Structure 1
C-alpha cells in the first residue's frame, strides 16, 4: 500500500461511514472518523461496534469532533444523507485537504457543491447499506454485481486521483466502478429512491405494513418510477444503470409483482421503523424537491402521480 494515499477522514459516523471505516481499517489505512455529540462519545468509550455473524464485535477507531483547517487528509469521505450534504461541505470549506468524496444521492447536479469546495469535489455513491440498532452496526451487503461503490470525475476523465481512489478500494477489497457520468448516475438513483421510498410515508405518517404490501402501493411505485424516468430522459439524463431503461418497456403488471415482492422484504420492514423512516423521509423530500427544480430548469413537465 502506498503511504501517500493512506490517510482518510470519514466525515459522518452513520451506517455508511462506519462500514467504510471498518473495511479501510482492516486493510491497514489510517482512518479517522468525524462524529459529534453522543456518537462521538460512544465511539470514544466503546469503539465502533458491529454485528459479525451473530456476534457483536468492537474495533477501536480514531475519532474527532473538531477538524482543523491544516489537518490534511488524502481523501475525505463525506458520508451523510443528501439533506445534510451542504452543511457538511460547508464545515469542510476551509480545510486544506485536496479531495472531498461525497457519498450521497444528488438529484439536480453539482453546482451548489462546487460553489463550496470547488474542484476538490469527487462525487461518489456507496455500495452497501444497513442500520445501527442500539449503537451496533448491522451491515447489509448485496451481491457485488448489484452493489458497488461508484465514483468518477464530473467531467468523466480518469485522473490520477481517480486511479488512487481505485487502488484504495482494491486494497480494501471493496467492489467499485468508475463512472463517466456521475450526474446521470446519481439523478437516476435519486429517481428510483424517490419512487420506491416516498410511498412508505404519507402526510408525515409511516404506512402500515398491510397497506404497504398491497397491489395498489406497488402500482403507485410502478407508475411514479416510469414517469420520473421518462422525465429525466427528456432532460438529457442518460439512465444509469442501463437496466432501468428496460423498466420503461416492462408491462406494469410485471413491475407490480416485482414491487409487491420487494415491499415484503426485511429491508422494507426496517425502512418503516420510525427512527429510520423519519430520517429517510427528510432526505427523500429534499431529493424530490430538487429533482423538480432540475426538471423545471430543463423545461420538463413530468406526469408524476402525487
Structure 2
C-alpha cells in the first residue's frame, strides 16, 4: 500500500522558500507556496522560475495568498526574514497545523514566538541562499560539509516530528543537522550576521557599493564579531558552531584579511543590490536591537559601549 506524501506549506516565496518548495516537490511531496502581491501573480502565471546552469526553467507550483484555519499541513515552513517572523506567525496563529518550522535567525530566543503558536514552534535555519532577479531564482548552495539546514526541538529532544523532518530532508537530498540547543545556535548565527551584514549596511542607511571592499570595513566586522561573541558567552549562551569560540582569541589582522577577501567576492556584490540591501538592512537592524535587549536583560554588559572594547 502506498503511503500518502506529507503535505507541506512554504509560507514565504522569497529565495529560501522557493528553494525548499522546488526541492521538496522534486522529492515527491505535496507542496503549496504562500505568496503575496507581485510574487503571487508571477508564480501563478509562470510557475517557479529558476536558473539551471544559465538556462531559465520553470516548474508549476500550487500557490495561494490566503490560508484557511482548517487547511491543515504536516509541516508549515515559515521562510520570511526575522523582522517579518512575528507577523507571519500571527497569520498562522489560528491555523490547525501542528508543526510550524521557523526558518530564520533569532537573536533573543523564542518566548515571543512561542506565545503566538505555542509548542507547535520548531526552530530551524536554512543551509543555502541566493537571490531572485526579475522573478527568476538563482540558488546558491554551499559545500555540504560547510553548511546544512539546522533544526531541533526547543528542549533538545529528538521527537517524532524531528524524525519526520529527517525523512523529508533525506528524500529531498538536502544536508541537515539536528541541534540540541537551537537558541544558542541561532543567537551565535545572529551575531555573525550582525557583524558581516553590519559591515555592508550602516544603521538605517545602505552604504555605497565601493565601501565594503576596504580594510576599514573588514576591521569593523572583526571588532563587532569579537565583541558580541564575548558578550553572549558572558550571558551564558554556548557558542555554536564551536569553531566560533576561537574567533575572540585570534589576532585581529588574521580576521581582517579573511573578511577583506570575503568583501571582494561576487557574493557580496550581489548583496549590495538595492532591493536585497534594503531588506537585509532592515533585518540586521532588528537583529542587533533585539540582541542588545537580550544582553542588557542578562545584566552582563552595557550594550551601548560594547563596540569600544577592541
**TM norm structure 1:** 0.97
- What is residue 10 of structure 2 aligned with on the other side? 10
1:305 aligns with 2:304: no
Cα distance in 1, alignment partners of residues 5 and 234 from structure 2:
40
SS at match of 2:222: helix
5 Å-filtered alignment, 1:210-221, equals: 210-221=210-221
Tell me, what secondary structure is at the counterpart of 2:306? coil
CA contact (8 A) 2:51 2:136 kept: yes
Contact 1:122 1:152 (C-alpha < 8 Å) held by counterparts: yes
Q: Report how far residue 297 of structure 1 moved.
A: 1.1
Cα deviations by residue, 1:262-297 (Å, 9 ceiling, x for unpaired): 000111111111111100011001000100111011
Matches within 5 A, 1:146-295: 146-295=146-295
Counterpart CA distance in 2 for 1:147 and 1:2 is 33
Partners of 1:205 and 1:82 lie apart in 2 by 18
Distance 1:80 1:2 in 2: 34
1:206 is displaced (CA, Å) by: 2.6
Q: Secondary structure at the match of 1:22?
A: helix
1:267 counterpart SS class: helix
Structure 2 unaligned blocks of 5 or more: none
Superposed CA deviations along residues 164-194 of structure 1, whole A, max 9, x for unmatched, are 1111100110100000000000000000000
**How far off its partner does 1:202 sit?**
2.5
CA distance in 1, matches of 2:202, 2:298: 28
Distance 2:222 2:96 in 1: 45
Q: Which secondary structure state, in structure 1, belongs to the residue aligned with residue 249 of structure 2? A: coil
Q: 1:94 to 1:256 in 2, by over 3 A?
A: same
Shift, 1:203, TM fit? 4.9
2:48 match:
48
Q: Which runs of no fewer than 5 residues in structure 1 stay unpaired?
A: none
Contact kept, 8 Å, 1:4 with 1:74, in 2: the verdict is no
Give the 3-state SS of the residue equivalent to 1:56 in structure 2: strand
Measured at CA, do residues 155 and 203 of structure 1 come closer, stay the same or move farther in structure 2, by a change above 3 Å? closer
Deviations 1:131-177 (A, max 9, x none): 00000000011000111000000000000100111111001101000
Q: 4+ residue stretches of structure 1 with deviation over 6 A?
A: none
CA distance in 1, matches of 2:97, 2:6: 13
Taking the aligned partners of 2:204 and 2:120, their CA distance within structure 1 comes to 37
- Structure 2 residue matching 1:72: 3-state secondary structure: coil
Q: Secondary structure at the match of 1:236?
A: coil
Is the contact between residue 70 and residue 95 of structure 1 (CA under 8 Å) also seen in structure 2?
yes
Give, in whole Å, the separation in 2 of the partners of 1:134 and 1:171.
Answer: 30
Aligned counterparts of 2:110 and 2:165: Cα–Cα separation in 1: 20
Change (3 A) 1:294 1:203: closer
Output one character per residue of 1:183-221: Cα deviation in whole Å (capped at 9) or x when no partner.
000000000000111121225333234321111111111
For residue 96 of structure 1, report the CA deviation from its aligned partner. 0.3
**Distance change in 2, residues 1:203/1:187 (3 Å):** closer
Looking at structure 2, the residues matched to 101 and 137 of structure 1 have their Cα atoms a distance apart, in angstroms, of 22
Report how many residues are paired: 306
